[in-house]
Chain A
């Protein structure tokens, strides 16, 4: 649950952003992130809320672990399972 997950902002509507997480689009709340977020930025998502805008210079480094975990298809893998749970966070919240 504490892993969070980075994704790319592709749309913003008020306090909600549409974010692309490794090809999967989800809605994420912008209530708590402490910097202005723009389309094209990467944010770190935790239980459906963006908690940090990732500085551009750090994006590539941040994505590495998550790309590997997203590719891990094994249901027994707890880290990959937590990542999938994070991905599921906003699944039903799209209006």
Chain B
């Protein structure tokens, strides 16, 4: 395991006493739950949670009969090959592309945007949708914002469209909606997920009430968690208590940012601009209602309707032998860990990623490469 210089050894809880209480509670709950059966599996769906769990070495303080795994929580990682191909094709057709930095190295069927850039295509990295609009304002030529991200980020894209961008601006949406992906994982019998930690800042927008119906239908509790190590431990305690009590609902362990209703204004903007449609998630397959597509009213700003995008030259090339051995698909639904992949840390590295999970700072493989995923620190500090 190649942990970077800021590996998991730096366990720094601001309140070690509270951390000990919480981990002791987790150990007791897991023991009472797991007697005579398989380990308890809890899934989170957020790359930032994985960063915090790995950075603070939380798995070292969890009992062996508890598995905390990452599900489809990295928006860049689940951006499908065909979506990357569309961005690459547009760029190679001479259209100027603006996109978030993590998208640059993301492999398409045969090329990434960085490859297109190397061939002379114009691809600008932006940190916000606003910057993409400013690029368009400063120029006469068409600018396509190749937009990725879950609902929290899609809200920003919706806001710039509602604020009347210039006519040379359009959006190629690779935005995804997380709740339907949780549905898909909950239906996978082999995943055996008994509880979900929902991502705190997605729930700022959607509210935790959204998960109540999901929890009832799948008899799987959902707890919204923050990003502080103690927030995560407290959310795990709450989730295990709900499993013990067979309380199949949604709870909020991040009340300082999340409410039951969420941000109504943001939801209105989101659904005025986007509609949820069936669409492919890389490595996972088609997720019903998993993609956010611009509504018909916004056709003039939809790059897919505005340009004729020809991806045929990109998709005919066969996948490389290396990429066929990549386990990203299984890793993203929690059926494999990065260390199960024969390429991890060998052929697949952050500077030369084979799979999507090694590209983004929210990808499980990149996070595990940086911090180590399952450190053996010999217990709590």
Chain A residues packing against B (C-beta within 8 Å)? 1-4, 15, 29, 31-34, 44, 46-49, 51-52, 54-55, 58, 61-62, 64-65, 68, 72, 74, 76-79, 81-82, 85-86, 88-93
Contact = CB atoms under 8 A, between A and B. Distances in A.
B6 A48 contact: no
B105 to A, nearest CB: 15
Contacts of B21: none
B366 interface: yes
B117 interface: no
B227 A3 contact: yes
Majority secondary structure of chain B interface residues (helix, strand, loop or mixed): helix
Interface string B258-289: 00000111100100000000000000000000
**What is the size category of the interface that chain B forms with chain A?**
35 or more
Interface of B: 4-6, 12, 14, 46-48, 51-52, 55, 75, 100-102, 127-131, 134, 149-150, 152-153, 155-156, 159, 162-163, 199-202, 204-205, 227-228, 255-257, 263-266, 269, 361-362, 366-367, 370-371
Contacts of A54: 256-257
Contacts, number: 137
A1 B362 contact: yes
A51 B205 contact: yes
A92 B131 contact: yes
A58 B371 CA distance: 30
B128 A47 contact: yes
A90 B128 contact: yes
A52 B75 CA distance: 21
